[in-house]
């Protein structure tokens, strides 16, 4: 079998597994129609000038089976105030569902729950926005979405299955989703990439040769000024000043390149459906750390009640600041990470050096610098001074000899972010390897953390 035929056969088999059937499509669209009709009816009853539209993958038939994200935008006249949009939009959204949560993006929206004719639950985001006439007149970030929807709906027919293949491929690689937790490829970005390259396989062929700063401009009207700082630039066809791929991290960009090369070299359905990983147990974790000869230290606290796109940048900021504290005190970090599992948030540090002797060498000024030399000698007059490499050197007592003591006493001096800082102020724990008790989700986190220890690299096709 020719390589191209083999890839085609694999893609056909994958599509059969991930394409929503007509029954699923009908149920999802029935729920969407029900929500829209209910919003429009309520708006009329409440005397609110607004109407609802469906956007996103369910409006474009580009969702993977079983993973329909229903996004309903409530369109308000562009002339109303931000305050009226918020108050009337939320009131209208809340009035059509008995069960909902208020969430926040660029402004508040409602995450509500609905049921189809068979009693199956469906979740939907109800988002108030301004019905601006042109993308250049945006009053909030979400106002672009209806323009995105219109652009894709006109061009995607016939390419929906190619989008599904790309989404499933990225999900398996762990890089689907533009959320701060993942920093991967959004659904809209996937659609644009397929529009640019016309097929999933052609995208992979091109991606396998991408370089840092790769630029894609479908309409050829790009005015984006951030070139050089992003690994991937995909100009938004409805807003030439915006990079749709701005959320894609360097690692996610490189993971797609790597996965594309591997799949094209050794096509296999496992690239779309990897084997399910078994959660790591506490005993496995402790054994593996002992074999590695490292030490883990976890800063554990209650997860702040904010959306992940607000929380994760703060966790990353805290990770960087705490890492700096650890390294400044001469301990050595091998790797670090952050996560939220259930109600718990944590920073995790894997250390190469976590204990130090009580004594440390403190290097002073050059002997040739008379003023600073005199100041240094006066400060350490009671101690023996050495001269090494033309500088004064004195031995001093180290304030912290283990990293746990350092973090227990100095953590609050770090830049932690508003919500993380407030949560840590309410209480936190600093735990080393043997003290880490596994809670829901932690076994999966560590399985992913150590994934490179268990995975094998395909060197040749079987």
Is the dihedral angle over the CA atoms 262, 266, 270, 274 positive or is it negative?
negative
CA–CA separation, 308 and 261 (whole Å): 32
Percentage of residues of the chain with pLDDT beyond 90? 86
Q: Is the pLDDT of residue 460 over 90?
A: no
**What CA dihedral angle connects 407, 412, 418 and 424, to 10 degrees?**
60
306 and 220, same domain (yes or no):
no
Give residue 330's pLDDT: 96
Residues facing 385 on adjacent strands:
394
**Token pair belonging to 78:** 């562009």
Nearest to 363 by CA among 380, 345, 347: 380
Tell whether 3 is covered by a domain: no
Give residue 371's pLDDT: 95
Tell whether 344 is covered by a domain: yes
Q: CATH number of the domain that 369 lies in?
A: 3.30.70
Q: Is the pLDDT of residue 453 over 70?
A: no
421 and 380, same domain (yes or no):
no
Give residue 454's pLDDT: 46
206 and 239, same domain (yes or no):
yes
203 and 347, same domain (yes or no):
no
Q: CATH number of the domain that 251 lies in?
A: 1.10.1410.30
Give residue 452's pLDDT: 59
69 and 131, same domain (yes or no):
yes
By the 8 A CB rule, do 367 and 390 touch? yes
CA–CA separation, 200 and 22 (whole Å): 23
Mean pLDDT of the chain: 94
- As a residue count, the chain comes to 462
pLDDT band per the 50, 70, 90 thresholds, residue 192: very high
Q: What angle do CA 384, 388, 389 make, to 5 degrees?
A: 160
136 and 45, same domain (yes or no):
yes
The backbone torsions φ and ψ at residue 379, rounded to the nearest 5 degrees and listed phi first, read -65, -40
312 and 443, same domain (yes or no):
yes
Give residue 286's pLDDT: 96
56 and 131, same domain (yes or no):
yes
pLDDT digits (tens, 9 = 90+) for 20-39: 999 999 999 999 999 999 99
By the 8 A CB rule, do 412 and 256 touch? no
Q: Which of 1-10, 89-98, 218-227, 425-434 has the lowest mean pLDDT?
A: 1-10
pLDDT digits (tens, 9 = 90+) for 93-144: 999 998 999 988 778 899 999 998 888 999 999 999 999 998 888 898 899 9
Give residue 455's pLDDT: 46
Tell whether 8 is covered by a domain: no
CA–CA separation, 238 and 137 (whole Å): 11
Residue where one domain finishes, among candidates 129, 154, 179: 154
CA–CA separation, 319 and 55 (whole Å): 36
Q: Is the pLDDT of residue 171 over 70?
A: yes
449 and 321, same domain (yes or no):
yes
317 and 226, same domain (yes or no):
no
> Helices in 302-434 by DSSP H: which ranges?
308-328, 370-379, 403-410, 418-425
Q: What is the mean pLDDT of residues 159-172?
A: 98
Q: What is the mean pLDDT of residues 228-240?
A: 95
Tell whether 4 is covered by a domain: no
Q: How many domains does the chain have?
A: 4
Tell whether 447 is covered by a domain: yes
Tell whether 441 is covered by a domain: yes
Tell whether 101 is covered by a domain: yes
Residues facing 392 on adjacent strands:
387
Q: What is the mean pLDDT of residues 82-86?
A: 93
Q: Is the pLDDT of residue 227 over 90?
A: no
Q: Is the pLDDT of residue 1 over 80?
A: no
Burial 39-70 (b: 16+ CB within 10 A, else e): bbebbeeeebebebbbbbbbbbbbbbeeebeb
234 and 374, same domain (yes or no):
no
Give residue 456's pLDDT: 43
pLDDT band per the 50, 70, 90 thresholds, residue 461: low
Q: Is the pLDDT of residue 58 over 70?
A: yes
177 and 110, same domain (yes or no):
no
Q: CATH number of the domain that 411 lies in?
A: 3.30.70.590
Tell whether 303 is covered by a domain: yes
Q: CATH number of the domain that 57 lies in?
A: 3.30.460.10
Residue where one domain finishes, among candidates 226, 246, 271: 271
Residue where one domain finishes, among candidates 219, 239, 271: 271
| Cut 0.85: pTM above it | yes
pLDDT digits (tens, 9 = 90+) for 349-394: 999 999 999 999 999 999 999 999 999 999 998 888 999 999 999 9
- What domain range is 192 assigned to? 160-271
Q: What is the mean pLDDT of residues 297-314?
A: 94
> Helices in 156-199 by DSSP H: which ranges?
160-173, 187-197
């Amino acid at each position: 079998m020719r390589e191209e035929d083999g890839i085609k056969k694999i893609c056909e088999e994958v599509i059969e597994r991930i394409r929503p059937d007509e029954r699923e499509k009908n149920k999802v669209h029935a729920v969407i129609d029900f929500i829209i009709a209910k919003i429009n009816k309520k708006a009329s009853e409440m005397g609110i000038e607004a109407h609802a539209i469906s956007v996103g993958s369910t409006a474009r038939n580009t969702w993977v089976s079983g993973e329909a994200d229903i996004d309903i935008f409530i369109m308000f006249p562009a002339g109303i105030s931000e305050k009226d949009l918020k108050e009337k939009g939320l009131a209208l959204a809340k009035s059509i569902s008995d069960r909902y949560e208020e969430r926040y993006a660029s402004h508040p929206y409602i995450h509500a729950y609905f049921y189809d004719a068979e009693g199956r639950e469906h979740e939907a985001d109800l988002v108030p926005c301004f019905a601006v006439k042109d993308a250049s007149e945006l009053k909030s970030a979400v106002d672009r979405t209806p323009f995105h929807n219109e652009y894709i709906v006109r061009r995607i027919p016939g390419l929906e299955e190619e989008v599904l293949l790309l989404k499933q491929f990225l999900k398996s690689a762990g890089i689907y989703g533009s959320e701060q937790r993942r920093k991967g490829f959004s659904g809209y970005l996937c659609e644009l990439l397929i529009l640019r390259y016309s097929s999933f396989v052609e995208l992979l062929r091109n991606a396998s040769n991408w370089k840092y700063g790769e630029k894609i401009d479908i309409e050829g009207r790009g005015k984006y000024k951030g070139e050089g700082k992003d690994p991937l630039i995909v100009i938004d066809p409805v807003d030439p000043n915006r990079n749709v791929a701005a959320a894609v991290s360097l690692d996610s960009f490189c993971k797609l390149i790597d996965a594309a090369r591997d799949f094209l070299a050794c096509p296999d359905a496992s690239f779309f459906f990897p084997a399910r990983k078994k959660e790591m147990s506490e005993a496995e974790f402790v054994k593996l750390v002992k074999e590695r000869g490292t030490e883990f230290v976890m800063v554990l606290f209650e997860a702040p009640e904010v959306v992940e796109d607000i929380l994760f940048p703060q966790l990353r900021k805290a990770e960087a600041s705490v890492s700096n504290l650890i390294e400044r005190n001469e301990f050595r970090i091998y790797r670090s990470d952050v996560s939220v599992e259930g109600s718990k948030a944590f920073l995790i540090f894997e250390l190469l050096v976590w204990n130090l002797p009580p004594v440390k060498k403190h290097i002073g000024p050059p002997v040739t610098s008379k003023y600073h030399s005199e100041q240094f000698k006066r400060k350490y007059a009671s101690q023996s001074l050495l001269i090494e490499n033309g500088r004064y050197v004195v031995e001093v007592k180290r304030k912290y000899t283990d990293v746990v003591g350092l973090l227990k006493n100095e953590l609050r001096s770090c830049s932690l972010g508003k919500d993380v800082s407030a949560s840590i102020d309410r209480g936190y724990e600093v735990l080393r390897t043997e003290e880490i008790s596994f809670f829901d989700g932690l076994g999966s986190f560590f399985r992913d953390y150590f994934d490179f220890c268990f995975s094998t690299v395909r060197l040749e096709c079987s």
